[in-house]
Structure 1
Amino acid sequence: SLIVKAISRLGPVARTGGVRGPHGVRSEGAFLSPLLALLLLLLLNWLHPHPKALKCYKTDSEASNLTLEGCSPDKISCVLHFRIDKSTGARHRGLSNCWNLNDKCGIADCLYTPHSRIEDHGSCCCRTDGCNLMENLRLVTSPPTATTMPSKGGSSQGNRNSTSKSSSNDSGSEGGLFAKGGSDQAASVLLFSLAPVLAICVTVVLGFFLYTRHRERRKSRSESVGLASYPVDNHPFPVGHLSSHIRLKERLATGKFGCVYIGEDAETDQRVAVKVFPPQERGSWLVEQELYSLPEMSHPNILCFIGADQCGQGPDLRLWLVTEYHPLGSAHDYLAGHTVSWIQLLDLAESLSRGLAFLHESSSEKPAIAHRDIKSRNVLIRSDLSCCIADLGLAKKFFQGESIGDVHPQVGTRRYMSPEVLEGAMSFYKDSFLRVDVYSLGLVLWEMLTRCTDAYGAEGVPAYRLPFEAETGSSNPSLSQMQAAVVIERRRPEFPAECQSHQGLSYLRETICCCWDHVPEARLTAACVAERCKALRRLPVSVAAEEARRRQQEEQLADQQAPAVDLQLPQAAVINEASAAASAEELRPLREAEDAV
């Protein structure tokens, strides 16, 4: 009841319920009013700090012994009763004690106001430790006030009545808001004692309120992101009006986040790729839109972003992401139907590595980006047989100095998950996410290598297979199958036998093995892989030619009869030795380039 009484004196601020909004919901004032009341209490506590216990001289009932003792919290002044000798006017000390009133009391001086009706005794009061002594007695000649000092022989009831009267009439007393009587003083003391607890509560509640408001505003901004927030230079269609210019034609693919269509501009007949997201995948749509629109995001080996749009309303809402269209399709589709030469293999490998290295790099404007779903289906083949990386729906950007935040580590395609992702032992650092991408890069490079004609002999290139399809015996392995093969057995896809004898393929095989190393810290960076592929470009023509000539000579020798074969063996050995020497000489610049990297 004391707390309620004290808060009620704070005025209507503590009782205000706030202003109702247009929908009948209380606005922020409803939440802030109690906070303002608590803050006002803290301010009052600062202006009126909790006083220390006052010490006054006290006497026994006979006024014989005088001792300095502490007062109770509700006693805020010292009182001295004295007797006046009418004949001589001398004053003699009487009872001394603590008192619960400070109106018209002195500070160090014990002030006494003579009363016309009381001539033989008087009282004075003061407010400092040990001030109620006869030597501190001072006479006040101002007119009498409604406040009466307690008399030596007066009853306790009379004292209480005079105290109550003084408290109620003197609104300008020094006690302030909480110093108007014993009950008010008790409320003040209680509130001052609760001030630290109230301060902690205010801090926690206010912090939670600000955090909640911050999250709501961020969510509101992200959900109301207009397409004009992501200006894209040099795109052929006005941002925000793409759906009125583009007609959807053939469906190309269906994925986890949506469908990809061939789109055609109604005026220019230019073809584009349109990725259509359902409303529930709005988060992925916003992520891709934001990443594609980052400053300095343009790169020849990253899919070119044209714009984004919303089509329809309500349950029919569709979210568009418009990019360049590449007729050759994904690396998965292209490799399944085509083989590649050694030169084409290097084109694919280097361009893919450079695209991933660009994502991983950071600059003053562009953050480092981990793709988190590198696979052959998310790599598109351009008309010049170079690669560009697509599908940034699971990507994570890393701004310098910012925390990683809430990120689920086990995302992506199971077949391409690294050992640390499969067993849930991934470290939450930027480099850890980038190394996961490099592991997946190694598997895609393996897919490309296994479709190279130089990697096989006369039997020809076998049918296209996905990574771990032979090791797990499944075209869609489960998580437990991948954990058993990759984490427990530490298996990796097998290379063609010809990679051992082909100098260039052997070196590329070594690079791939460094990409999918079981220890994340031992893996190469994407930039290093790109430099290795670039260094291999100096060798492929001569090395491949020598390998082809060697295979042709071996086939010719095998077709001859046994005696003839015996006679030709020394010559074949000489040819092979010369070929190996030439290959070693050709690889010397490559080894020097590797040392430089």
Structure 2
Amino acid sequence: MIDKGTVKLKLILLVLIFSTCLLNALPTPNLTSETNSDDVPEDVRRAQMDDEIVERDFDDSLVTRAFVNETNGTIYIQPVSEQKEEEDEEPELERRDDSIECDHYDESKCEKLGECSITKEVCHPEKHLKMVGCLAVFAYPDNLTTNSTDEYFPVNRSLIKTMGCMQYQHDTMMDCVDKKKCLQTKLTHAQIGMCCCKTPNCNVLANVMLINPDVHKESDASKGFWQSTPPSGMDGLGGLPIYWVLTTVLGGIFFFAILIALYVLWRCRQRQREEDEKKRRNCESEKTNVMEAGNLPLVDHEVMIEMVETPKELPITDFQLICKGRFGRVFKAKWKSQNGEEKMVAVKKLVDTQKSSFEAEKKIFEGLVSLPRWYANVVQFICAEKMGEEYWIVTEFHERLSLYELLKHNEISVTSCNRIIMSMVDGLQFLHDDRPFFFGHVKRPIIHRDIKSKNILIKTDMTACIADFGLAREYNSNIEKSDLLGQVGTKRYMSPEMLEGATEFTATAFKSMDVYSMGLVMWETINRTKLKSSDVVPEYQMPFQTIGFDPSIGIMRNHVVSKKERPQWRPEVFGQISMSFMAGVAEEMWDPEASARITAGCAFERVWTHVFSLQDCSEGYHSGNSLKDGKGGEDREEERRKNRRNDEMFKYHSKPNKPHPSPDPSLDDCPQLPPIPIITERGIIHNDSPDAEPSIGRNEDQQKEEEPIVEKIFDIATNRLLTREEFEAQEVEEVNTRASTPTPSGTF
């Protein structure tokens, strides 16, 4: 252990060395003294300086002027009496108790009151302001010819702003160039100049002069701080300038404060290391005693961590790559259960940097698994495990892949469009609502935060289910703001308030962002729907595709927020009853104002009612009795139809493998149901190009578009933005530091 006395001695020596270096580095002003200050004691040197000041004052009272005769080189001393006679001829304001008369003018009074003549003003010394002088403030001329060697130029009457007198404390504070003429003191870059003088009526217009900028290249303010002459009356200790003394003292205090802070910090860390070392030795002693007694420790931290991190063996084989990106890959694989049954699953393998995304998705799925039953419009979860250096999420496999893949390679019918929109909005209302339709149980609201066509999977029967919950969060009153406030998701699908960074911390505000994104997905779906046999369906387009691939947040903000742009509908859409209705719902979902958007539950109810009303019309739900009964009979018939729809939806969500109650798209022939993509070892083969080479997931030019931007969290401790991985790694390190501290004896 380091000896405390040795450490203190070293610190004292270090302080002395730094102090000496600082004092040597500071410049010493020139002090006129006949004796060497290094050889004379301080008290004697101060007494000598006081005597010199008294003697100089006495000499000044007798002799103030000396003239040299240029002919013979003799020196003539002017007597005091002659000085007084000259003072009578040319009086100067040198006494502190005298008043002074100056020319007075105020441009503001001239403009407001019409008082434009130059008058006289008398100023008297006041209290601590013992001196008085004259000044003038003027504007620079617009066209000043500077090709002259004259040091000053006269100022025109029209340029005068202010004239008058002023009180001041000391001669040096005025810094006047001439006592009898008002000459500009400093050359400034502003358009206003100032001059001052110290004799009566010295600021008359003829005496007001402007500096020639060619002669005075620098103002007096450019003089070095340390080279300036200390003003009389402003002397500090031993004739040193007071500001020099203050700077030295404050610098020394600041320097010693830093040393003390560093020492305290070092001592705290030293004590912490000593305590940790002491605890470690005590813990080792306790473990040794327990082992010698024939027992094993109850908890071994290292073994416990190893047990958690050891990957499990999953019954998954026959991996086939579907798509890949920067954050991981998705495979089609075969799952073999314990009873020998096999089924196809989708395995998402995330890289080790995506631990936060894996844990968020796992948490959402585990919360849904705890509910009494699974909702059909959310992808079925199987398991989530850490496998080596990767994180695996295993879900149910749907052979039609994502809605993006379906729309990109196929046209769909109106019936298929209705079923897809109805089922994916059904899934969103289930996530958002704490009491969803057709579920019968209370749950916590879930915010997805990355709704897009690539995160919606299509089942064989053309129903949709929502997937990819890496950015999703359960909303409750205890959730931290840092966990939700951030620009996350795919930029193309971000809501206006998310692009602006003006999100309210309420459940309604966060849900409205998902609703906006779902409206864009509905536009994608409707845009690829064949409305009739003669309809020419355009090629697949992403929302705002005209902006380009991978747009920045600034570009999206300009189009979505500033210009309030939205994807444009085909004119043919409004000629088809069902699609026109769906387009109206989508427009209410992407309203610029978050508070004006309809909720997912409201959107689902409208879509659900509309789809079933089309089915009722096609099946002729108007009996003869209801027509005879009039309007009352129609109301009762409508109520019976509504109850029947509710029963069908409840049965669909409560019984596995129950057909969806909406019209069956497999009966359509305009166009027919899209074929199932073929997944091979080399990639995916779609119907639109059966002879083409198999593709893996997506085009290269769309590679960046699929990946959501990285979420960042503001960390108060470090005062900077951290990615979620950095933020959680910091938390894990703190937990490990606390966990590595052995438990004191007697607490088991």
TM-score, normalised by the number of residues in structure 2: 0.40
TM-score, normalised by the number of residues in structure 1: 0.50
